[in-house]
Structure 1
């Protein structure tokens, strides 16, 4: 990994959705840079383009114009297969909906990304259990999602996102389905992973209280970035 250049560099990114004769521009010539080890929050009103931004920066959605580089590689100069492989190797995802496989145990859910990229089963299981221990679920390894609380399920998704040691984790409203206590616990975990292990995280949230906890907060409106503040600036503004 080359720490001399930004982990993520997006330049002039534009995304337009078309339905029949109707066009909606979700991202408008957007620029964003994320350095290695940053924890960046993205906030904005509904329809401002937050989720579209994450989908385009991760290569889940195509873009209509611009350039997105992750680890120095242009995502949209890759073939679909290359982009899928890069995403599996370099990115982790945490969503508002936990997206766990109901019939799998916590360990089986977490090891799945490793198995899909060719990690030997014994190593995959050991790494999955180690990551579940890291997120405080050592006693829930053999439990299925229906046997876990909402907060515990989200911890499993975080473990799954981190088990392949990705360069960046994309988190889209990771506390949206949780009560305030569980949301606080999940944010404690994410901030600790960033602080203690240098994990780069880009996190979409609508919660102002969560936004105030983040070292850097980017705000969006109508598909554009309208502010980009560091924590010291946020504290002064508060």
Structure 2
């Protein structure tokens, strides 16, 4: 896919939360373009609108003004049912809380969204196993979440997000529940998937160490984008695994 082509185009997006007579503007006339194959981090203080931005751009929340187009499809011109189907087929989600089904094994958790959109069971199982292998969990496919570490559970959620070959993956604080070593491993995997497979990723984080690892970093304050920075991110040496360029 041509990385110069826009995947996401958000124009004049506005989101207002209302409680009785009180109205709080969470996003104010926000514009954003994300191209195919980009990895974009979103940072800002608590209450700046980071998660609201992700929820609105993905269509999880309604907006009060503006437009959001993904791959040429206007999300908010669709019916709720059509938007839900588009989200299931074109988007993957990785959250701070892993949201895995406790009684399901890793492979069952990964294949479930594929079955829900109509994949045949054999194909869904094949794709789920392939993605678990891709994230380094081929030896844990039959384990339930309670039998895995936090880092392993988050890798299952990444496999689940990617198994449907989404156009874009939304990651909301994906390392927030992990210790620093596991957080680094999860970021290594996300960066590798972006770099080697061209997976488009938009990642919300409060951690400056995580923000330093993304090629493009957006900063928010009071519902606005205040910075849009392109960063030099060292790539790992294929032999040693150590970062080059520092």
Instruction: Tell me if both proteins adopt one fold, taking TM over 0.5 as the criterion.
Output: yes
**1:110–1:159: 8 Å Cα contact kept in structure 2?**
yes
Equivalent residue number for residue 25 of structure 1: 25
Q: Name segments (4+ residues, structure 1) moved above 3 Å.
A: 1-5
Aligned equivalents of 1:18 and 1:84: distance in 2?
Answer: 24
SS at the partner of 1:99? coil
Q: Give how far 1:228 is off.
A: 0.2
Q: Give how far 1:2 is off.
A: 8.0
Equivalent residue number for residue 181 of structure 2: 181
| Unaligned ranges ≥5, structure 1 | 234-238
**1:2–1:71: 8 Å Cα contact kept in structure 2?**
no
SS at the partner of 2:24? strand
Aligned equivalents of 2:160 and 2:50: distance in 1?
Answer: 23
**1:27–1:224: 8 Å Cα contact kept in structure 2?**
yes
Alignment of 1:42 onto 2:42: yes
Aligned equivalents of 2:141 and 2:3: distance in 1?
Answer: 35
Equivalent residue number for residue 119 of structure 1: 119
Equivalent residue number for residue 161 of structure 1: 161
Equivalent residue number for residue 12 of structure 1: 12
Q: Give how far 1:232 is off.
A: 3.5
1:25-174 mapped onto 2 (5 Å cutoff): 25-174=25-174
TM normalised by structure 1 equals 0.96
Aligned pairs, number = 233
Aligned equivalents of 1:230 and 1:112: distance in 2?
Answer: 37
Cα offsets for 1:108-153 (capped at 9, x unmatched)? 0000110000100011011100000000000000000000000000
1:197-216 mapped onto 2 (5 Å cutoff): 197-216=197-216
SS at the partner of 2:176? coil
